Amino acid sequence: MINHKLLAAAAVDAKSRAYAPYSRFHVGAALLCADGNVYIGCNIESAAYPATICAERTALTKAISEGVRKIRAIAVAGSFPDKEGNYCYPCGVCRQMLHEFVTDDFEVIIAKSADDYRVHKWEEILPYGFGPKDLA
């Protein structure tokens, strides 16, 4: 059973570590792996914008670099530091990267706080996604 509240809280905490001097929009992510480990990530901006990396991909690359290949869920939280944000969904690039590793029961928790979040199944987030199964 996935503890949505705990994962949402980890994403909100990760958001505080963001490096976003240009957009000032801070995003945090917490990725739950099949082995129970959680990898967090934050967005990291660069003056050369294409070099910027999103929180979701930061968490994913941390997990993959540690040998993880099976993930169960991700929580995402984003906002400007001085404002309560709306629900912040993964961008298209993050959705495509995650699609390489998700299973049909993968869950996406979109959090404003540890107590205010939405839970989605993967097919709601990326319907008709193109991935490894399409190349088999």
Residues with a catalytic annotation lie at 56
Taking Cα atoms as reference points, which of 65, 64, 58, 50 lies closest to residue 30? 58
Distance of alpha carbon 64 from alpha carbon 118, whole angstroms: 26
* Beta-bridge mates of residue 26: 79
The phi, psi pair for 18, rounded to 5°, reads: -60, 145
Q: Are strands 107-111 and 26-33 parallel, antiparallel or unpaired?
A: unpaired
Distance of alpha carbon 18 from alpha carbon 85, whole angstroms: 15
CA atoms within 13 A on the CB side of 51: 6
Distance of alpha carbon 27 from alpha carbon 44, whole angstroms: 9
